[in-house]
Amino acid sequence: MNLREGTRRLALLLGVVGAILGGFASYLELQTVLNQRSQHNKFEQLTASDVVTHERKCRLAGIYSGCRDLPTDFVVTPIHAIPPPPSGTIVRQHSAQPQAWNAQGNPIDPITGEQIKIDPQTGERILFDMSTSIPIPSIVMKDGIRAIKWNHNYGVESIEMEDSQTLYSTPSPAAWTYLLVALFPVLGFLIPWGTIRAIEWVVAGFVQPSK
């Protein structure tokens, strides 16, 4: 029995099979990476498009419908420079004293049983808290865009297209993912090949006749 030649051939055979499987996995992963990059680029292009930029300007100008022309000196504040909404309220109820409390001692609405908020400075009941408000989506129906969903500072949360596709902010694939895709076939060959050769080396230590 030629142990060395048999394990060498077995290692090569399994290495080739592993390389083929690694190439298939590389192809699937490459499709995922390319799709992610395409989604990222498309979302960024739409976010910077004239349609979305104009709609954001209208919202920041306080115009929610029928927005056409804006003053030429109107400037959009960069998204990162827009401070978050204050934690105050736009609607308050002066008769703040609740008539009921829950087991934790928090005031609740005696009719609905829901916990209510009381401004500690004014003692007024808070009915609407701006810190948790999200702007209503913009219905555009222009240039393939059906609607724009905003976050609390008018950054684009998602864009719904007229073909019912919804685009979200997707990070661009990292550079190392392309390297990993290229390494799949190599690793597919080296792992089984190296494993068999290592087993051969261990077994040879037992079956080799002592001198």
Q: Are residues 63 and 102 in the same domain?
A: no
Name which of 7, 14, 10, 2 is nearest 202 in CA terms.
7
Q: Tell me if 196 is assigned to some domain.
A: yes
Full domain range(s) for residue 101: 86-132
Q: Tell me if 41 is assigned to some domain.
A: yes
Q: Tell me if 105 is assigned to some domain.
A: yes
pLDDT at 88: 43
Q: Are residues 49 and 17 in the same domain?
A: yes
pLDDT at 164: 86
pTM over 0.95? The answer is no
Q: Are residues 11 and 52 in the same domain?
A: yes
10-residue mean pLDDT series, the chain (211 residues): 76 92 93 92 92 84 66 51 44 48 65 63 58 74 89 85 89 88 92 88 71 54
Question: How many distinct structural domains can be found in the chain?
Answer: 2
Q: Tell me if 24 is assigned to some domain.
A: yes
Q: Are residues 100 and 55 in the same domain?
A: no
pLDDT at 119: 63
Q: Tell me if 78 is assigned to some domain.
A: no
The region, left, alpha or beta by phi > 0 then psi within -120 to 50, assigned to residue 107 is beta
Name which of 55, 6, 3, 11 is nearest 189 in CA terms.
11
Q: Tell me if 179 is assigned to some domain.
A: yes
pLDDT at 45: 92
For residue 104, give the amino acid letter.
Answer: Q
Q: Are residues 61 and 102 in the same domain?
A: no
Q: Tell me if 103 is assigned to some domain.
A: yes
| The two three-digit tokens of residue 41, written as one number | 């680029």
Rounded distance, CA 211 to CA 209, Å? Answer: 6
Q: Are residues 92 and 64 in the same domain?
A: no
Q: Tell me if 43 is assigned to some domain.
A: yes
